[in-house]
Amino acid sequence: MSRSSEETCSSSLARVQGAGGASADGGRPRLGSTANNCGGAGRGRSRSEYFRARQCLRRWLWANSSVDRVRMCGRVAWRSEIKCYGVGDGAYFGGVVTCGSVHACPVCAPTVRARRAAELSWAFEEYVARGGGLVFVSLTTSHGVGHALSVLWKGLPLAFRRMLDTRAMRDFRDRHPFEFVRAFEVTYGRLHGWHPHLHLALLTLEPWTPEVVREFRTVLFESWRATLGRMGLPLPSVERGIDVRPACSGAVGRYLTKVSGLGSELVRGDTKRGREGRYGPFELLAAAASGEGWASERWREFERTTKGARALQFSGSARAVLRLGEVVSDEVTAALPETDNEPVLIGTLTLLEWASAQAWPDALAAVYTACTDHSVEEFERVRAFLRSHPPWWVNRVTEAEAREQLRLWLRDMRHIADILECGA
């Protein structure tokens, strides 16, 4: 795609949007549960700007991801037409593959994690209201540029399981039983490498007294440090190794009064921003998409390591204690429309129109905006634009390029068939 062609298309599309008076006002933060829904603009950006930013990252992944489903996510259609819905102040494109990756997809990860956070926040608040106690715990270890992410990603959860089996921790847990919900978060710094954290929400039978909290903090640090030492992992310092915050204290109490609450703090690793020169996962992806070679290497390491990993782990009875229902897979959650707002069908796109929207990023953002504004008139204007601006390769593709496009299309269709056959 040449720069002049892209500028001509963008200016033409701007005239189309201007005729319809497309709105670009920001949306309120909301629970995102659709693969192409921005889940609220946030950070002062409009819905379309936020959508464009995520699509920019997604387009880089289409060409560079090592995960098949991520390369297909939001791009490959598995129906003969794409149904475009407005859902609350968001949008939903039906008939498009979604990957459901909670770590590597800038669209599915916020969608799935927002739903998990909302579910957990409600469960935590309800549990505390029933008289239970809640303690938020963070565990980490020392780290440096020489530590591979795969070692830390596997090592810390294993160290945590072994720590629970130490005599000191078993004795404490016999006297003060608890279940837990666990999440793993990682950031990257160019000076100190990967920085891993285990986050846990401990579910206690009743709120712990300050004396019990102090005892637990001592037992936890000594057991954690000893376990890491036996496994040959770097030892943490007293100041940075652990963090224990009971829900009755102000810090976690304030989390419980927010909309996303403690569930958001536990689950929303996708929204975390690095500090002191560290990069959160999608900040790292943004650097890679902007052409930073070092970031591309680190992102590929992150993607390989986290492939197939779940965002949350529950101890044996934690789901029952929280009265949570059946587990819905991440793939299904990413593809679901909004549950508390009825989807409104705005219009449909043919496969060629969908290809045109993929070829012109501004056009796809215009489709999204028309759906979020529930404007059928604006949608039809954009659709007319898509029909008059087919993808560049429709008339100018060479025979060799056509064969390559066909090969890639057949590969994607085989992947879709495999996914549907195994019920993913």
Query: What is the per-residue pLDDT across 112-160, written as a single tens digit (0 to 9) for each?
Result: 888 888 888 888 888 988 899 999 999 988 877 778 999 999 999 999 9
Burial 371-409 (b: 16+ CB within 10 A, else e): bbbbbeebbebbbebbeebebbeeeeeeeeeeeeeeeee
**Looking at the structure, do residues 294 and 166 belong to the same domain, yes or no?**
yes
218 belongs to a structural domain: yes
Indicate the pTM of the whole model: 0.75
Residue 171 belongs to some domain of the structure: yes
15-19, 60-64, 150-154, 280-284: which range is least confident on average?
15-19
Same domain membership, residue 244 and residue 354: no
Cβ atoms of 295 and 287 within 8 Å: the answer is yes
- Give yes or no for residue 380 having a pLDDT over 50: yes
CB 227 within 8 A of CB 180: no
Q: pLDDT digit string (tens) for 179-210?
A: 999 988 889 988 889 988 899 999 999 999 99
Question: Do 269 and 404 belong to one domain?
Answer: no
Reduced 3-state DSSP string for 293-360: HHHHHHHHHHHHHHCCCCCEEECCCHHHHHCCCCCCCHHHHHHCCCCCCCCEEEEEEEHHHHHHHHHC
- Based on the domain organization, do 273 and 393 belong to the same domain? no
Q: Please check whether residues 280 and 184 belong to one and the same domain.
A: yes
- Identify the pLDDT of residue 218: 94
Domain match, 224 and 341 both: no
Token pair of 199, please? 């986050």
Q: Are residues 251 and 160 part of one domain? A: yes
Which one-letter amino acid corresponds to residue 236?
A: P
Domain boundaries, position 45: 3-106+335-421
172 within some domain: yes
User: Do 16 and 77 share a domain, yes or no?
Assistant: yes
Q: Do 153 and 244 have their domain in common?
A: yes
The answer to the question of residue 354 being in a domain is: yes
Q: Is the pLDDT of residue 40 over 90?
A: no
Q: How confident is the model at residue 29 (pLDDT cuts 50, 70, 90)?
A: very low
Q: Are 305 and 367 in a shared domain?
A: no
Which is nearest to 216 in space by CA: 183, 251, 184, 173?
173
Residue 410: band (very low, low, confident or very high) from pLDDT cuts 50, 70, 90: low
209-218: per-residue pLDDT in tens? Answer: 999 999 999 9
Structurally, the chain folds into a number of domains equal to 2
Same structural domain, 163 and 241: yes
CB neighbour list of residue 365: distance below 8 Å, 6 or more residues apart: 48, 51, 52, 55
* 22: its two tokens: 């497309």
